[in-house]
């Protein structure tokens, strides 16, 4: 297999990992790639293509989860203040952190108004889709 095929296969795998697709088949020349995402527990709706999810947690506030696999950044640039440190109050739509996949930075917006109780990830950590990123207390309806 040539280096070109290896690079192509890796790029297809990365794209599939960050997409909401359940299955993908690619054919180019004699090369055919077939990928199927297996659900790991939980109901089918737990594997939706939402950009982010808000999950109710009894007695611990609400959780913001990762929209896709990638690297999490807590601030807009190295050395800059964090978007949402513990105690930070925010409004719906405010950027809480960034998630990078395939060299694209995607803001993770606040699903509602609240106050950060705990940041559950380290700056620069790699996370899977659905990983818990931040716990907050809702302050609005």
pLDDT value of residue 15: 78
Query: What does the pLDDT look like over 34-45, one tens digit per residue?
Result: 777 654 333 334
- Going along the chain, which residue ranges are E strands? 23-28, 31-36, 54-57, 61-65, 70-73, 89-90, 95-101, 104-109, 114-119, 126-127, 132-138
Average the pLDDT over 43-58 and give the result: 43
CATH T-level fold of 52-138: OB fold (Dihydrolipoamide Acetyltransferase, E2P) (2.40.50)
Cα 81 to chain centroid distance, Å, stands at 21
pLDDT value of residue 40: 37
Domains of the chain, by residue range, sit at 3-36, 52-138
pLDDT of 20 > 80? The answer is: no
pLDDT of 52 > 60? The answer is: no
Which segments of the chain does DSSP mark as H helices, in order? 3-17
- The pLDDT-based confidence of 17 (bands split at 50, 70, 90) is confident
Query: What does the pLDDT look like over 72-129, one tens digit per residue?
Result: 999 999 889 999 999 999 999 999 999 998 888 999 999 999 999 999 999 999 999 9
pLDDT value of residue 47: 39
**Per-chain mean pLDDT for the chain:** 79
């Amino acid at each position: 297999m040539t280096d070109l095929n290896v690079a192509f296969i890796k790029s297809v795998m990365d794209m599939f990992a960050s997409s909401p697709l359940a299955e993908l088949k690619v054919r180019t020349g004699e090369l055919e790639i077939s990928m199927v995402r297996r659900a790991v527990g939980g109901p089918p709706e737990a594997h939706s293509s939402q950009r982010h999810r808000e999950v109710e947690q009894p007695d611990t506030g609400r959780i913001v989860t990762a929209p896709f696999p990638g690297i999490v950044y807590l601030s807009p640039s190295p050395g800059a203040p964090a978007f949402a440190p513990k105690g930070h109050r925010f409004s719906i739509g405010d950027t809480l952190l960034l998630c990078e996949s395939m060299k694209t930075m995607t803001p993770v917006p606040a699903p509602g108004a609240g106050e950060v109780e705990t940041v559950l990830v380290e700056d620069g950590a790699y996370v899977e889709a659905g990983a818990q990123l931040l716990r907050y207390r809702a302050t609005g309806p």
